[in-house]
Structure 1
Amino acid sequence: MEERYKERIVIDPRIMVGKPVIKGTRIPVDAIIRRLAEGMTVKEILEEYPNLTREDITAALEKKDSVRIRTID
């Protein structure tokens, strides 16, 4: 699996206690995933977080899938 999400997601212990966040923001990946799971649309998320792009949301989903795959292996 190509890990393109690494260009958009950073993990830094000085930012949000090391939670994965969208690069250049303090928006945690899990916040994006949680909103999608609650039924929010990509458009609604982009309205709530105007600093995000569709590519950022895609990266969050790729990161989530990457973690799940590693956990299963």
Structure 2
Amino acid sequence: MKSHWREYIHCDPKILIGKPVVKGTRLSVEFLLGLFAEGWTEDQVLENYPTLTLEGLRAVFAFASECISQEVWYAASMVNQTQ
């Protein structure tokens, strides 16, 4: 699915000021990941947002995974020491 997220996620400056969203919705990747961070389940998200498909939701995770894999991350203790 990693390579297929582009079929479901896009950015358009006219939609949520260009944040990545699931195509055909105004649901941003950030918003959907936030729901999971708050404890929502896949079923709850799909039930509450009927325009979202399972494939679109999985693309959110593939997109996030690819974004993270391309970033440099530092240990939290190192970040705190520099502030």
> TM-score, with normalisation over the residues of structure 2?
0.80
Quote the offset at 1:59 in angstroms: 0.3
Shift of 1:40: 0.6
Work out the number of aligned pairs and report it.
73
Larger radius of gyration: 2
Calculate the aligned-residue CA RMSD, in Å: 1.6
- The Cα of 1:37 is off from its aligned counterpart by 1.4
Deviation at 1:72, TM superposition (A): 2.4
| Contiguous gaps of at least 5 residues in structure 1 | none
State the 4+ residue runs in structure 1 displaced beyond 2 angstroms: none
TM norm structure 1: 0.90
Structure 1 Cα separation of the partners of residues 58 and 71 of structure 2: 20
**Runs (5+) with no aligned partner, structure 2:** 74-83
Establish whether residue 55 from structure 1 lines up as the match of residue 44 from structure 2.
Answer: no
